[in-house]
Amino acid sequence: GKADSQTKPTIGFRPVSMMAGENLQVRFYDIGGGPRIREIWSQYYHDVHGLVYVIDSTASEERAAEAYQIFKNSLSHEFTTKKPLLLVATKQDIEGATSMDDIKARYCIDEYANAELIACKPIGEAEEVDPRIEAALEALIKNVQESFDSICERVKVDSATKVKDDMKRRLARERKVLKNKISIAFMDLLSEENQPDLGGKTPNPED
């Protein structure tokens, strides 16, 4: 409930566990939003029960459009669709911030099942956390609890699907590497169109 004025942008990801009741433990994955880290977001989708997406209400039109496109891509993934969602529009108390009506329209919140949009203000020095955040998180957790059994079953199925997909990709990479290695050993027997792309490097048959 207290603000941390030393908070910095997340680099990579940071798991945080906390007790949200006597018999309820919640685990959050705070995942960085930088361009490089976004590529690994999908590695977590299969195992989550709910999602929180935070946007900057004071962002430029270019950044706002980028944030929406990332949101759209993330929520269209097969492992995230129809899972409980909380969209947090922060910096709403700053002059010139995009209105909640405009954000709701841009993000088409009504089209997502189990979705909620809230406004909040940024945390300043020695301030307490905006109570709307705590209330919204409680609502999200309750939403997850109400569908907990079905979400758990889906997580189990999605996790199995991810294991199979990961194995297929790994085998494809291994086959590609093996094919290139065999091709390098017999470069003089291959036609030009069948020779592997070595990025300009000189092949060494002894490899």
The pLDDT of residue 126 is above 60: no
Instruction: Report the C-alpha gap between 78 and 24 in whole angstroms.
Output: 27
Q: What is the pLDDT of residue 186?
A: 81
Q: The pTM is what?
A: 0.78
Give pLDDT, residue 195. Answer: 76
Tokens of 206: 């002894």
pLDDT of residue 124: 60
Cβ-Cβ contacts under 8 Å for 117 (sequence gap 6 or more): 87, 89, 100, 103, 104, 107, 109
The Cβ of residue 33 has, within 10 Å, a number of other Cβ atoms equal to 15
Q: Does the structure show a pLDDT above 90 at 70? A: yes
Q: What is the pLDDT of residues 3-48, one digit of tens each?
A: 666 667 777 788 889 888 888 899 998 888 888 888 889 998 999 9
Q: What is the mean pLDDT of the chain?
A: 86
CA–CA separation, 69 vs 31, rounded Å? 17
pLDDT of 37-67, one tens digit each? 888 899 989 999 999 999 999 999 999 999 9
For position 187, what pLDDT does the model report? 77
Q: What is the pLDDT of residue 123?
A: 66
How confident is the model over 127-148, as a mean pLDDT? 87
- Per-residue model confidence (pLDDT) at position 4: 62
Alpha-carbon span 128 to 1, nearest angstrom: 6
| Mean local confidence (pLDDT), 167-172 | 94
